[in-house]
Chains A and B, each alone.
Chain A
Amino acid sequence: MSNEKQLDSGRRGLLVATAAAGSVVGLATAGALVSTFQPSERAKAAGAPVEVDISTLAPGEMRTVEWRGKPVWLLKRTPEMVASLKQTDGKVADADSKRNPDEFTPEYARNEWRSRKPELLVAVGICTHLGCSPSSKFTPGPQPSLPDDWAGGFLCPCHGSTFDLAGRVFKNKPAPDNLQVPRYMFLSDTKLVIGKDEKGEA
C-alpha cells in the first residue's frame, strides 16, 4: 500500500480503453434490444392498399373498411349532408384543411367537402386527439353531448371532440386536426382503392 500515490499512466490508459470498449459493447447491446421494439417486417408488410366496391352504398349510408388495422369510413353524403358543410364552415377550426396538409389531407381533398367527389367522404375514422374512433351522429338537431345547432357529423366518445360531415374538427375541441383523409383513387365509378393514388402508395 506504500505506492498508492504513484500513478502508472500506462495502466491508467489501458483502464480507460477497457472501460470505453466495454461501454461501446454495452450501448450496442442496449441498442439492439431497443430496436426489437420497432414494427416487425410482417407488421410493415400488412399495410397494403385495400380495394372497395361501393356500388351498393346507399345515400346517407356509411361503411367501414379496415386499412392498416384502422377503420376507414366511406360515407355517401346526401345532398342535404353536402349542404350542411356550408353551415359548418364558420364553426370548424380548419375549414380549408390548411393545417398539416401533407399528413392529413391529400391535395385533391383540400376543398370544403374534403373528398374527390362531393358526395363520397373517405376518411380514417380515428380521432386526431388520442386515437379513439368517433361515433356517427348523423341526425341533426339538439341531443345529449352535442350543441343545439348540430348539423350532423361525428362525436368522439373519449374526449368529446366533434367533427362535421367532412371530418373537419369543430373549434375549441381537444382534437388538433381534421380527420385524416387517406390517399385513395377511383378505379371505376363504383370501385376505389384506399392507400394508393396516382402518386403511388401512401
Chain B
Amino acid sequence: MAAFKETKFPANAPAAEKALGWVDDRFPLTKLWNDQWGKYYAPKNFNFWYIFGSLAMLVLVLQIVTGIFLTMHYKPDATLAFGSVEYIMREVPWGWLVRYMHSTGASAFFIIVYLHMTRGLLYGSYRKPRELIWLFGFAIFLCLMAEAFFGYLLPWGQMSYWGAQVIVNLFGAIPFIGPDLSLWIRGDYVVSDATLNRFFAFHVIAIPLVLLGLVAAHLIALHEVGSSNPDGIEVKENLGADGHPVDSIPSHPYYTVHDLFGVSVFLVIFSAVVFFAPEMGGFFLEYNNFLPGDSLKTPLHIAPTWYFTAFYSVLRATTADFMWVLMFGVAAYVVFIWLKSRLSTTIKAIIAVIALLAIIGMLPSVLDAKFWGVVFFGGSVVILAFLPWLDHSKVKSVRYRPSWHKYVYALFFLSFLTLGYLGTLPPTETRTLVSQVCTLFYFSFFLLMPWWSAMGTFKPVPARVVFHAH
C-alpha cells in the first residue's frame, strides 16, 4: 500500500471538484460509481426484457420507504393489528395511499421478478460464468417469498390468519420433528399474538437486512463478470482499442435514460393500479382479508395470494393416488439416468439408492402424501436454483436454439401459468387431474433438461451482437 497522498487541485478549481477529491482520497466514491454504474460497460443490444432488474430495484426502495411509514402507525398486536390497518386506511392522512402503494408494490415486485427470471431463462443469463448471479438471485426470490408470507399475516384478516396457519402447518408434515417445529415457529398452539409479533420482526427487519445484502451480492457479481445479452454472446471476448468491449456502451448515460423511460411506463401502470384497482379483483388484496382473523372459522375458499399459487397447486396435486404415478416417475428417471447419462457409476449408484429410499418412503404405509406434497412444493421452488447445471445447450440464447426448443419453453410457461391459475380456484377432480399433469411436466422440464437442451440443430451464433441503431 502506498502512503496516503492528498490530491492537489489548482487554486481556482471549483469547490465541488475539491470536495469530491477530498472524499475520493478517503473513500472510493468515484471508483464505486464508475465500477457499479457510471463506467459499467453493458452490451448495446439490450431489449425491453432488460428493464426488470432496474425496476425490481425501484420497487425494493418503494417497499422499504412505504414500509417504514406504515410501521409508524401499525400495531403488531393480535387485538389491535386489524384495527390499526383500518386506522391507516381511514384516519391517517394519506395513509390509504401509503398502504396501497405497499400492497400493490408487493404484487408488482413479484410480477417484475417473474419477468426478470423469464428473461434469464430465455437468454440463458444463468449460464457460466454467471451461475453465482443466478444463485444470489434465487436467494433473493426466497427472501421475497418469506417477506410476502410474513407480511401477509400483519393485517390480521381472515386470509392472513388462515394462510399463516396452513403454511406453518406445512412444517408439521416433516416426520418426527414436524409438530414441535410448527409449535416453535408459532410460539403457541395456534397462530396467535406471539406469532404475529415475531412475523412482524421478520418482516420489517430480519428478512430486509438479508435481502439488501443479497441484492448487493447479486449486483457485485453481475458487475464483476458483466451482463449477458439477448444474443448470449460474451462481449468481453471482443475488446476495442479503448479496452472496452466493442459491442458495449457505458451504463451512464445510455442505460440511465433507457431505464428512466422504462420507469416512467412502469409508474404509469403502477399508479393506475394503486388509484383505480388496488384490490385487483381480489388478486392483490383478497376480499376475505377485510374480515378480522377468527381462529374458530376458516373462510369458505382459501387460496394464497396469486404469486404463490403455482407452487401451491403442486402441493394440492400430490394426493395419495398420485403418489403411485410419482413413484413410477422416480423409478423411470433412475433407469433413464443409468441408460443415458455419462455420470460416473458411483454417482449413478448414489442416485439409485436415494431414489429407492424415496420410493419406499412414498409407499402409503411409510410416509403420508401430505409430507410428499410439502417435499414437491419445496422442490418446485428449489429446482430453479439448479438451472445453471441442468442446461447443457450449446448456445445461451433461445434465438440460436433449435426452433422446437421454443415450444418446450412455451409449454413450460403454459403449465406454470395453468398451475398458478388452478391454485386460485377451489379444487375439483378435473382441476386436480390437470394440475397433476402440469406438475409432471413442470418437473420433467427441469429433470430432463440435461438431455433435451442439447438435442436438435443449433443455429450459428454471430460474432457480433445483433443491433439496429434507432
Contacts and interface: CB of A to CB of B under 8 A. Distances in A.
A157 interface: yes
A68 interface: yes
Contacts of B185: 37
Given A135-B298, A145-B428, A158-B298, A172 B370 contact: no
B427 A66 contact: no
Contacts of B194: 39-40, 43
B426 A71 contact: no
Given A130-B165, A160-B426, A66 B189 contact: no
B263 interface: no
A38 B189 contact: no
A45 to B, nearest CB: 12
Given A131-B169, A159-B316, A68 B298 contact: no
Interface string B297-331: 11111100000000000001001110000000000
Interface in A152-173: 156-160, 171-173
A43 to B, nearest CB: 5
Contacts of A69: 188-190, 192, 295
Contacts of B188: 39, 43, 69
Contacts, number: 98
B292 to A, nearest CB: 15
Contacts of B190: 68-70
Q: Which of A68, A130, A133, A159 has the most CB of B within 10 A?
A: A130
A133 B296 contact: yes
Interface in A109-163: 125, 129-135, 145, 156-160
Contacts of A23: none
B299 A130 contact: no
Contacts of B168: 131
A47 interface: yes
B278 interface: no
How many interface residues does chain A have, given as a range?
20 to 34
Interface in B245-300: 295-300
Interface in B193-219: 194, 198
Interface string B411-427: 00000000000000011
A142 to B, nearest CB: 14
A172 B321 contact: yes
A132 B162 contact: yes
Contacts of B88: none
A79 to B, nearest CB: 28
Q: Which of A43, A68, A158, A160 has the most CB of B within 10 A?
A: A158
B369 interface: yes
A38 B184 CA distance: 5
A49 interface: no
A18 B297 CA distance: 55
Contacts of B198: 37
Given A132-B302, A158-B302, A172-B321, A43 B189 contact: yes
A36 B426 CA distance: 38
Nearest to A38: B184
B300 A157 contact: yes
A37 B201 CA distance: 12
Contacts of A37: 184-185, 187, 198
Given A131-B165, A160-B426, A172-B320, A40 B187 contact: yes
A87 interface: no
Interface of B: 162, 165-166, 168-170, 172, 183-190, 192, 194, 198, 295-302, 316, 319-321, 368-370, 373, 426-428
Given A40-B187, A173-B319, 9 more contacts: A39-B194, A43-B192, A66-B296, A71-B297, A130-B166, A130-B169, A158-B166, A159-B316, A176-B368
Please name the 9 residue pairs, one residue from A and one from B, whose CB atoms are nearest each other, closest first: A69-B190, A133-B298, A71-B296, A131-B169, A176-B368, A132-B298, A160-B427, A130-B166, A130-B169
22 contacts: A39-B188, A43-B192, A64-B296, A66-B296, A69-B192, A70-B295, A129-B169, A130-B166, A130-B169, A130-B170, A131-B166, A131-B168, A132-B298, A132-B302, A133-B297, A133-B298, A145-B428, A157-B298, A158-B162, A158-B302, A160-B316, A160-B426
